[in-house]
Amino acid sequence: SLYKHNPVEEIAKVSIPTLIVQGDKDVQASVEDAELLATGSPNATKVIIENMNYVLKECDKVGHQNQLNTYLKPDFPLNKDLVPAITDFIFDTIDE
């Protein structure tokens, strides 16, 4: 294995609220990876964002070639649901 640590075991050590954000068009990490990671922590909130890829950009296609512009162009927009997901998590955590 190239990885020294198991993410599920590591997140289990975190005792504070944790946000797991995963795009459904991510070609490097899968929705299943995010779901597995979320099982490691009772403090985790998992958000799966439609049409978001690994670099948090709006993307409606899977595949490295289809997503090339999202990786190479810094002005390509972030997914519209990302910031609301983060702010909702922060405000929900503050209210607890």
pLDDT in tens, 60-88: 888 888 888 899 988 989 999 999 999 99
Q: What is the pTM of this model?
A: 0.88
The pLDDT tens digits of the residues spanning 8-59 come to 999 999 999 999 999 999 999 999 999 999 999 999 999 999 999 999 999 9
CA atoms within 13 A on the CB side of 4: 0
Beta bridge partners of 20: 46
For the four alpha carbons of 69, 27, 20 and 79, in that order, the dihedral sign comes to positive
Instruction: Please state, in angstroms and rounded to a whole number, the distance separating the CA atoms of residues 70 and 57.
Output: 6
